[in-house]
A and B are shown apart, each in its own frame.
Chain A
Amino acid sequence: MAVTVSIPTILRSHTDGAKSVEAAGSTVLEVLDDIESRHSGLKERLVKDSKLHRFVNVYVNDEDVRFVGGLDAEVSDGDTVTILPAVAGGAR
């Protein structure tokens, strides 16, 4: 199961500067473990005490995984996983 994972600028030091990487797995955690096996150090920036870091958001096809199972959220072939720092904003 191949998915595309987009990496925020701040974490690209862990992916040799790559903006996105391919990875395998059927859950978000499996995908992160798969990336970790090639780019060590990334996972500990995102996961703390078996949960997503408070200020990190992970999206599968634009939907925040915290609402659909967290690290156990399902990922399917061809999905796009996006990692982003949490941010406030808006026409507000």
Chain B
Amino acid sequence: MSRYESLLDALGDTPLIGLPRLSPARDVRLWAKLEDRNPTGSIKDRPALAMIEAAERDGTLRQGSTILEPTSGNTGIALAMAAKVKGYGLVCVMPENTSAERKQLLQAYGARIVDSPAAGGSNEAVRRAKELAQSNPDWVLLYQYGNQANADAHYRGTGPELLKDLPEVTHFVGGLGTTGTLVGVGRYLHEHKPGVHVVAAEPRYGELVYGLRNLDEGFVPELYDADVLTGRFSVGAYDALRRTRELLEFEGIFAGISTGAVLHAALAMAEKAVARGESADVAFVVADAGWKYLSTGAYSGSLDEAAERLDGQLWA
């Protein structure tokens, strides 16, 4: 890793870092894959670039095209960078209750932001984006929730990188949003490492996000493949923040809040292995660093205060 022809070429090949202080036993170890070491600082650079390249190959994306995408931040930022470099326009549909930094970054890259209502979270952004795609047929909706190139980016990149660095891997834990990371990495690991556990950590938001939704309108991303996951956790803001701070305190890693939720699930799986007397190597994804969340107050004050401040925000 040293010299690249352009920023886009510097994608991937991220480091895998051992966590000797947070690992619960000598033979039950935790490993963090630092996806913030990507061109725009998040794992979303992988699917964003893969989706753009797939759309270029099949001819839907041409010079001067405008890309449309529902995103709560990182995918939008990744697309905005790639769009800037490659000469496309970008319209992001984003829930209004995401952190200020994400909006500022998108604006810095020249993306146009369409707000979707806070209540309903990402589901509403998806619905709005689909509406906009209908009324603007010349815009190209990449649609990360159903775009196979999203999962493929992890099947071809993140998964093989992980297995190369950690052939003894027993567990993979990642965040659950579009499901692209878990489906792509999970599929690759199941093929090459039979018996591996693939575990999702889903953010559990406050009442505002869930409150108004109807059970019959639940949204399951088209990419989701139920056969890939072997376990799933739902993690609230308090535990996500607690683990985010522990990662910084004990291992020096300054991660975003969703990483705390992932670490919470990774530690639960590690503790289960300890209880059963089994050895384990638990790898998890650090999706991004903490910079974009400083304004939420996640890293200061008491955990209760910080969790309260996050209530009603899409923190992952």
Check if A82 is an interface residue, CB within 8 A of chain B: yes
- Looking at the assembled complex, report how far the CB atom of A76 sits from the nearest CB atom of chain B, in whole angstroms: 14
Decide: A92 and B215 in contact? CB cutoff 8 A. no
User: How many angstroms between the C-alpha atoms of A28 and B235 in the bound complex?
Assistant: 19
Q: Mark A1-19, 1 if CB is under 8 A from B, else 0.
A: 0000000111100000000
B264 vs chain A, min Cβ distance (A): 7
The CA-CA distance from A9 to B8 in the complex, in Å, is: 44
Residue of A nearest to B211 (CB): A9
Separation of A92 and B181 alpha carbons in the complex (Å)? 11
Given contacts A87-B209, A90-B176, A91-B44, contact A10 B215 (CB under 8 A): yes
Could you say which of A55, A67, A92 contacts B75, with CB atoms under 8 Å apart? A92
Is B72 engaged at the interface, CB distance under 8 Å to the other chain? Answer: yes
Contacts A63-B233, A63-B268, A92-B44; A87 near B218 (Cβ below 8 A) = yes
**Nearest residue in B to A63 (C-beta to C-beta)?**
B233
Q: Which of B204, B218, B236, B265 has the most CB of A within 10 A?
A: B218
Q: Which of B74, B204, B231 contacts A63 (CB 8 A)?
A: B231
Interface-located stretch among B49-57, B59-67, B121-129, B298-306: B121-129
Task: Tell me the interface secondary structure of chain B in the complex.
Answer: mixed
**Beta-carbon nearest neighbor of B219 in chain A:** A88
What is the distance, in angstroms, from B212's C-beta to the closest C-beta of chain A? 8
A66 and B232 contact, CB distance less than 8 A: yes
Which residues from chain A contact B215 at a C-beta distance below 8 Å? 10-11, 45, 53, 55-56, 85
Residue of A nearest to B197 (CB): A67
Chain B residues contacting A64 (CB-CB under 8 Å) are 231-234
B162 within 8 A of A: no
A90 lies within 8 A of B211 (CB): no
Cβ-based interface call for A71 (8 A): no
> By the criterion CB–CB under 8 Å, are B229 and A67 in contact?
yes
Q: What is B's interface to A at a CB cutoff of 8 Å?
A: 42, 44, 71-75, 121-123, 126, 144-145, 175-178, 180, 202-205, 207, 209-221, 229-236, 239, 256, 258, 264-265, 268, 287-288, 314, 316
The 5 closest A-B pairs by CB, nearest first: A90-B177, A55-B218, A92-B177, A64-B232, A86-B218
A residues with CB within 8 A of B? 8-11, 45, 53-57, 59, 62-64, 66-68, 82, 84-92
Write 9 A-B pairs (CB below 8 A) sorted by A numbering.
A10-B213, A55-B215, A62-B268, A87-B213, A88-B145, A89-B209, A89-B314, A91-B72, A92-B180
